[in-house]
Amino acid sequence: MTDEYLLNNKIKDSGYRLGYLAGKLNLSRAGLYNKINGKTEFLASEIQALSDILKLDGKEREEIFFNKKVDKLSTN
């Protein structure tokens, strides 16, 4: 399960816009939005590409994309 809160913070901190990131992932803006918000799942290749673009280290990648326990604040 993707931690929407952490991912949105990383995207915001990066200064990249969703449209730019979506293009880099070969997704529509709406497609990326759906993945960030848990409506659809990220593919492994998308996780790797996004990790590279956002310069996520292994721990950050694990916390964002593979965290089974997401607190209530991040799901509201």
Is pLDDT above 60 for 46? yes
Ordered domains of the chain (ranges, CATH): 4-65 (1.10.260)
pTM beyond 0.75, yes or no: yes
Helices (H), 1-76: 4-14, 18-24, 29-36, 44-54, 58-65
Residue 71, pLDDT score? 52
| Nearest 10 degrees: Cα torsion 52, 4, 27, 20 | -60
Identify the three-state secondary structure at position 58: helix
pLDDT, mean of residues 57-72: 82
> Within 13 Å, how many C-alpha atoms sit on residue 31's CB side?
12
**Tens-digit pLDDT profile for residues 1-45:** 889 999 999 999 999 999 999 999 999 999 999 999 999 999 999
